[in-house]
Structure 1
Amino acid sequence: MSLRHDLRVIRAVAATDIRLTLREPLFAIIGVLIPINFLLLFLLFAISGGQAPIAVVMNDHGPLAERFVQAMDGAHSFIIHTATSAEAESEIRAGSIVAVVTVPQDFDAALGAGARVDVPVEVNNLNVDFTNDIRRAVPLSITSFYADAFPDQVVVSALESDVQAQDTGYIPYLAVSIVVAGLMLAAILQGSVNTARDYELGTVKELVLAPVGRLAIGLGKMLGSAALTVASALLVLGVVILVIGVHPLHPLEVLGFGLLMIAAFLALGVLAGTLVRRRQQAIPLSIACILPLFFLSGPFGPANWLGAVPGAIAAVSPLTYAIAAFQHAFHGYQTATQDLAVDTIVLAVFTLVTVVLTALVFRRRGVAH
């Protein structure tokens, strides 16, 4: 009978939280749309900064000149289009491209005769990142072209052996990291906003004084927030899988780790809501927590590549372990030194510790405003 009663309490508390959230569409929309905006913002950032737009002026259309442009395309560092000399100069002056690479006249003839060939590269060095990309990728393209066109003359070559079974593009890798950050943001927003609302409306006093177990109340509130978080999570996952085309290699891992992440980050959101007790403060606090943790948790590559100090910070961030787990779920490889069991344990322990801290804060501060 007690278990049945507790289940009714859990269901009633969860339904009440969902109903109250839906009655305030502004906060419901914020909780669902901010994570998807987060995803789109970073993907646009990645798309715009991934490859340098350049123009290639083809003053020679021989087979070697064509193979040279193919080698540049194979460097995966450029967005290439051909243009006349006047068009390319106009574009670089307007700032619409980063560089102009000119294939000189008699390119094929000079190479056939063994003569030196200089390839003019005009760089708009306004952005140092793009500039360095050009300075690295153009010599690499020349080396790759020469090794392919004249293999007998290139006596030193790299023998590559890959650790992973397949290459992963910049966008697919980053998209998975952003999904985790979106899950964290959605869960923290829902948990903190729902908790802060109880303090604003005074319903937290009614819950505390009600003749029901606090565990059942806590589980009900977690369930209500989780239901709303899942809606946001499904939207983010839908964009990544259906629109971007990043399909999970291990769907069951996505489900299991997704639920574990939601529980962990909901607990953090409830703690934040218990501390601030105001929704207008809970929302910016949630966003402020995400941004530094996101960049310090290995979203662009393994966290242990970040260096000593950032790597040490990443080691204590739950987002690091969540990203590593989801990268395995989607792409099938482990991006950190620890295995999936450690990722699971860290997220579970983080959830329990956060729940305990929330209980201590609640007991110490009471329900008074």
Structure 2
Amino acid sequence: MRAGLRNRVAMFFTLGLAFLFMVIFGLLFGGNNFSVTYGVVDSDHSPQSQKFIGALGGIHGVTTTVESKGQALNDLRNNHVDVVVEIPQGFGAALGNPGGAQVTVRPTQASQTSSTASVADQILAEVLNGFTANGARSAVVLAPPATSAVNKITAIDYFLPAMIAYIILQSGINYVAIGLADLRARKVLRRFRATPLRPVQILGAQIAGGALTVVLQLLVLIVAGLLLFQAKVYGSWLVALVPMVLGIGAFVGIGFLLTSAARTSESARGLSTFVAFPMMFLSGIFFPITTLPSWLQTVVHVLPLTWLTDAMHRVMNDGVGLADIALDCLVLAAWAVVTFAIATWRFRWD
């Protein structure tokens, strides 16, 4: 206990983690942070449909884009909008009829497996009821979700790529950061320097061990997902391998970088948790990014896990090719190069 209290770095991150935990969940669930983007197809072009669109866009957290049906569905497939709202011809006239009016909602696969689709439906229903005459029964009709290749994505299909990104994050950072810090604290690194081994061999072996650990964990995860839960992958595994390898490089590099600030394995464990924890909850693995405040949605796109998660979803769920995730791969490669360069410059043997 006394030794733990003396380790100020470890104690700082231990106590700071509790504060960070509250801040993250406060941002996720505190206040009215939800945002949803509607692609609106107005086939009625009546004053009533225009007022309906205006009322929908006037709600806090709601963004509307009026476009053609083809463009709206294309934006939906590319995740540029969360849902598409189709206002049929005759909508304005039907509002005053006893049968009421209907609008059709078409979600993405991603929004269908999160809370986005249900909240989007509730918002639409409330706005629609406000325009409906007394006694009329208007309705929001849910259409099949749009996909890039008519893929029927289940929850396990959606969360498998997210779990792959999560394993790469946790194992990539923790193994290298804690392992190297422990070797330094026990003076093993110093003794290694007295051997004929070159420094690059010593560090390379430790980093390669971290990467191999991630690969083994990924194999177990993927095999379990495919065989036990019948998860479906609609893209190429060869294409998926590219962001996976770059992601491993990025997070192993971050773990290597953290060893320059951690003198003991305890402080390395606290520091790695302090770094990984925000990314885990803010990068779209467990909660949709749309639940975050708009300013934070911009910030999280700096995090490498956001790009890794996006690339894995687009390849495994949407079946896109390597050219479609080029930006994701470029960002991950930049993270790997920069973190390894800084870590090599700042590394201490004792």
Per the normalisation by structure 2, the TM-score is: 0.54
Moved more, 298-307 or 215-224: 298-307
1:186 maps onto 2:171 in alignment: yes
Alignment partner, residue 206 of structure 1: 191
Given candidates 220, 234, 237, the residue that maps to 2:222 is 237
Any idea what SS the aligned residue of 1:245 has?
coil
Deviation by residue 1:21-43 (Cα, 9 ceiling, x = unmatched):
xxxxxxxxxxxxxxxxxxxxxxx
Which amino acid letter does the alignment assign opposite residue 291 of structure 1?
F
Q: Structure 2 vs 1, CA of residues 296 and 159 (structure 1 numbering), >3 Å: closer, same or farther?
A: closer
Any idea what SS the aligned residue of 2:148 has?
coil
1:367 maps onto 2:337 in alignment: no
1:342 maps onto 2:324 in alignment: no
Give, in angstroms, the shift of residue 331 of structure 1.
1.1
Give, in angstroms, the shift of residue 360 of structure 1.
2.3
Moved more, 346-355 or 278-287: 278-287
Whether the aligned pair in 2 keeps the contact of 1:293 and 1:319 (CA below 8 Å) is yes
Alignment partner, residue 68 of structure 2: none
CA distance in 2, matches of 1:255, 1:244: 21
Deviation by residue 1:133-168 (Cα, 9 ceiling, x = unmatched):
7x949x79xx9xxxxxxxxx9899788883533343
Given candidates 293, 300, 312, the residue that maps to 1:326 is 312
Per the normalisation by structure 1, the TM-score is: 0.51
Any idea what SS the aligned residue of 2:260 has?
helix
Which amino acid letter does the alignment assign opposite residue 349 of structure 2?
V
1:254-273 alignment runs, 5 A limit = 254-273=240-259
Whether the aligned pair in 2 keeps the contact of 1:192 and 1:269 (CA below 8 Å) is yes
Whether the aligned pair in 2 keeps the contact of 1:303 and 1:320 (CA below 8 Å) is no
Whether the aligned pair in 1 keeps the contact of 2:310 and 2:328 (CA below 8 Å) is yes
1:224 maps onto 2:209 in alignment: yes
CA distance in 1, matches of 2:223, 2:143: 39
Q: Structure 2 vs 1, CA of residues 154 and 320 (structure 1 numbering), >3 Å: closer, same or farther?
A: closer
Any idea what SS the aligned residue of 2:285 has?
coil
CA distance in 1, matches of 2:210, 2:341: 18
Alignment partner, residue 146 of structure 2: 162
Alignment partner, residue 316 of structure 1: 302
Identify unmatched segments of 5+ residues in structure 2: 1-97, 100-114, 130-136
Any idea what SS the aligned residue of 1:275 has?
coil
Aligned length: 226
Which amino acid letter does the alignment assign opposite residue 162 of structure 1?
A
Give, in angstroms, the shift of residue 352 of structure 1.
1.1
Give, in angstroms, the shift of residue 220 of structure 1.
2.0
Whether the aligned pair in 2 keeps the contact of 1:198 and 1:204 (CA below 8 Å) is yes
Instruction: Name the larger-Rg structure.
Output: 1
Whether the aligned pair in 2 keeps the contact of 1:298 and 1:306 (CA below 8 Å) is no
Alignment partner, residue 275 of structure 1: 261
Q: Structure 2 vs 1, CA of residues 185 and 222 (structure 1 numbering), >3 Å: closer, same or farther?
A: same
Identity of aligned residues (%): 21
- RMSD of Structure 2 on Structure 1 (CA): 4.0
Alignment partner, residue 161 of structure 2: 176
Moved more, 198-207 or 282-291: 282-291
Whether the aligned pair in 2 keeps the contact of 1:195 and 1:277 (CA below 8 Å) is no
1:352 maps onto 2:330 in alignment: no
Give, in angstroms, the shift of residue 297 of structure 1.
1.3
Identify unmatched segments of 5+ residues in structure 1: 1-114, 117-128, 144-152
Deviation by residue 1:69-96 (Cα, 9 ceiling, x = unmatched):
xxxxxxxxxxxxxxxxxxxxxxxxxxxx
Q: Structure 2 vs 1, CA of residues 283 and 233 (structure 1 numbering), >3 Å: closer, same or farther?
A: farther
Give, in angstroms, the shift of residue 293 of structure 1.
0.9
Any idea what SS the aligned residue of 1:274 has?
coil
Q: Structure 2 vs 1, CA of residues 208 and 342 (structure 1 numbering), >3 Å: closer, same or farther?
A: farther
Any idea what SS the aligned residue of 1:247 has?
coil
Q: Structure 2 vs 1, CA of residues 348 and 161 (structure 1 numbering), >3 Å: closer, same or farther?
A: closer
CA distance in 1, matches of 2:140, 2:221: 47
Whether the aligned pair in 1 keeps the contact of 2:166 and 2:280 (CA below 8 Å) is yes
CA distance in 2, matches of 1:347, 1:353: 10
Give, in angstroms, the shift of residue 303 of structure 1.
4.7
Q: Structure 2 vs 1, CA of residues 243 and 290 (structure 1 numbering), >3 Å: closer, same or farther?
A: farther
Give, in angstroms, the shift of residue 242 of structure 1.
2.3
Any idea what SS the aligned residue of 1:332 has?
coil
Which amino acid letter does the alignment assign opposite residue 315 of structure 1?
H
Q: Structure 2 vs 1, CA of residues 157 and 204 (structure 1 numbering), >3 Å: closer, same or farther?
A: closer
Q: Structure 2 vs 1, CA of residues 163 and 197 (structure 1 numbering), >3 Å: closer, same or farther?
A: same
Give, in angstroms, the shift of residue 199 of structure 1.
0.7
Deviation by residue 1:245-274 (Cα, 9 ceiling, x = unmatched):
223331112333222222221111122233
Which amino acid letter does the alignment assign opposite residue 185 of structure 1?
Q
Any idea what SS the aligned residue of 1:244 has?
coil
Whether the aligned pair in 2 keeps the contact of 1:173 and 1:300 (CA below 8 Å) is no
